[in-house]
C-alpha cells in the first residue's frame, strides 16, 4: 500500500511538472557592465561649450572712452543665431547714444575668433567698416570649429520677455543660411558643402 501511494505521488509530481518541461526554455542574457575606468575611456573631449546663466548678453555699454558691444552667452546656439545676432548687436551699436562717436574709420577690435566674432566682423565689413582687427589667443581648434548648429527655434524659457527678439534674430540667421544653401548669397556663391561628421569603422 505504501508503495502504491509513493508511486501515485511521483506520478502527480510528474504531471504537475509536465507543462514546465514542455515550455520553451527562457532566454537568459548575461549583461556585462561597462568598464568606465580611465584605461577604457581615455580623454575624448571634442570641445568645451561655455554656458552663461540667463539670456545672451547683446547690449552696448561704455567704459571710460571705450564703447563695448556685447555679443556672447548664446548657450550652445552660437551657430544657430550667429548671423542674426551679429546684425542685431551691430544695429544696437549704430543706433545707440554712442553712435555719433563711431565712424567708418573708427578702429574696431573684435574679441574672439569664434562664430560670433567672425559674424560680427563680417557684418561690420558689409556696412562699410574697414578698420577692423580680430583679437584672439588662437584661430584654430576653437569650440566653433567642432560645435554643430541646428536651424531650429531657440527657446528662452529662462527669460521669456526676450523671446520675440530671439525669434527675429533666428529668422534673420535662417535667411542668411538659406541664401547660402540656395547659392544666392553674393559672397558664398558655391553654396553649402556636405562635410562628413561621423564615420563608422566596421572590422
Q: Please state the pTM of the whole predicted model.
A: 0.72
pLDDT at 117: 96
The full set of domain ranges for the chain reads: 57-181
pLDDT at 42: 61
pLDDT at 25: 61
Residue with cell 569603422: 201
pLDDT at 8: 46
- Mean pLDDT in each 10-residue stretch from start to end of the chain (203 residues)? 49 48 61 65 66 86 97 89 97 97 97 95 97 94 82 82 93 95 92 70 54
pLDDT at 6: 47
Q: Which residues contact 105 (CB under 8 A, 6 or more apart)?
A: 130, 131
Residue with cell 502504491: 4
- Phi-psi group of 55: left, alpha or beta (phi > 0 → left; psi -120 to 50 → alpha; rest → beta): beta
Secondary structure of residue 146 in the 3-state scheme: helix
pLDDT at 15: 46
Count CA atoms closer than 13 A to 164's CA, side-chain side: 1
Amino acid at each position: 500500500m505504501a508503495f502504491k501511494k509513493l508511486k501515485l505521488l511521483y506520478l502527480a509530481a510528474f504531471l504537475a511538472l509536465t507543462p514546465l518541461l514542455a515550455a520553451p526554455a527562457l532566454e537568459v542574457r548575461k549583461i556585462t557592465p561597462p568598464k568606465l575606468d580611465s584605461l577604457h575611456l581615455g580623454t575624448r573631449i571634442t570641445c568645451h561649450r561655455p554656458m552663461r546663466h540667463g539670456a545672451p548678453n547683446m547690449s552696448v555699454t561704455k567704459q571710460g572712452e571705450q564703447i563695448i558691444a556685447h555679443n556672447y552667452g548664446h548657450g550652445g546656439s552660437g551657430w544657430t543665431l550667429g548671423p542674426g545676432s551679429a546684425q542685431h548687436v551691430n544695429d544696437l551699436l549704430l543706433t545707440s547714444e554712442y553712435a555719433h562717436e563711431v565712424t567708418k574709420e573708427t578702429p574696431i577690435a573684435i574679441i574672439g575668433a569664434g562664430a560670433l566674432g567672425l559674424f560680427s566682423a563680417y557684418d561690420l565689413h558689409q556696412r562699410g567698416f574697414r578698420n577692423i582687427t580680430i583679437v584672439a589667443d588662437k584661430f584654430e581648434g576653437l569650440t566653433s570649429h567642432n560645435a554643430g548648429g541646428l536651424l531650429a527655434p531657440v527657446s528662452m524659457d529662462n527669460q521669456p520677455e526676450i523671446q520675440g527678439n530671439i525669434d527675429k534674430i533666428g529668422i534673420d540667421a535662417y535667411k542668411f543660411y538659406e541664401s547660402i544653401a540656395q547659392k544666392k548669397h553674393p559672397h558664398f556663391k558655391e553654396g553649402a558643402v556636405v562635410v562628413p561628421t561621423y564615420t563608422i569603422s566596421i572590422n
